Amino acid sequence: MKGVILFDIDHTLIDTVRVKVLTVKNLALKLNISQRLLKKIVREYTDSLKTSTDFNPDNYLSTISKHFAKNKDELSEVFFDRATYSMSLFPEIQNVLAKLSTSTRLGVFSEGFVDFQTRKLILSDIYKYFDKKLIFISKRKMLPGSLKKLPPKSVIIEDNLTNAEVLQDLGIYKVLWVNRKDRMIQPKIDTIYSLGDLLNKDVEYF
């Protein structure tokens, strides 16, 4: 039986910071306003969220639409621009997923709204690599109810160090922390700096 690898989405597969930058730029152009003004209005919405994973595109776009009296559907087309997501995919992802999917069952372990997270995978053209039975997305993925759905002995790729440590301590999964920020190593958890490291034949990660 093939092994299972579960990937987080944001900051692991997709450069979410770049998505935000491109989205604000494109929306500001659509509205014919400065990015600075748009960021000010958007902040009113984002500041109301308990966590970043509570971000709901529908509410986000409604806030902008009402403030600038702009058609929401037109804004939605800009927000869900396919080019934005394909440009924000980390460079190695397509190649890594294509190669791993030939020998391993690939899935997702992510946090947020199911429709939005799934749409990110579709727009960035990587949804095709994942086993649809292995897509686990929830508002709070680290709660016991969410964790119990994961296949035991799965390899989990996680960029959030706190989450990685909790998962590692459970002793049920093989956890890899992807650190894209610096060269720091976490002694208790295998550390990678790019998903390209998963293809390194000199290191047996799973």
pLDDT tens digits, one per residue of 123-161: 999 999 999 999 999 999 999 999 999 999 999 999 999
The token pair at 18 is 């770049």
CA separation for the pair 118, 85 (Å, rounded): 12
Amino acid in position 18: R
CA separation for the pair 29, 153 (Å, rounded): 47
> How many DSSP H helices and E strands does the chain contain?
9, 6
Phi, psi at 75, each rounded to 5°: -65, -35
Q: What angle do CA 134, 86, 114 make, to 5 degrees?
A: 35
Model pLDDT for residues 48-69, shown as the tens digit of each residue: 998 888 999 999 999 999 999 9
Assess whether pLDDT exceeds 60 at residue 1.
no
Model pLDDT for residues 62-116, shown as the tens digit of each residue: 999 999 999 999 999 999 999 999 999 999 999 999 999 999 999 999 999 999 9
CA distances from 129 to 38, 46, 76, 179, 196 (A): 35, 32, 26, 23, 16
Q: Write out the H or E segment, with its range, that includes residue 176.
A: strand 174-178
Banded pLDDT at 188 (limits 50, 70, 90): confident
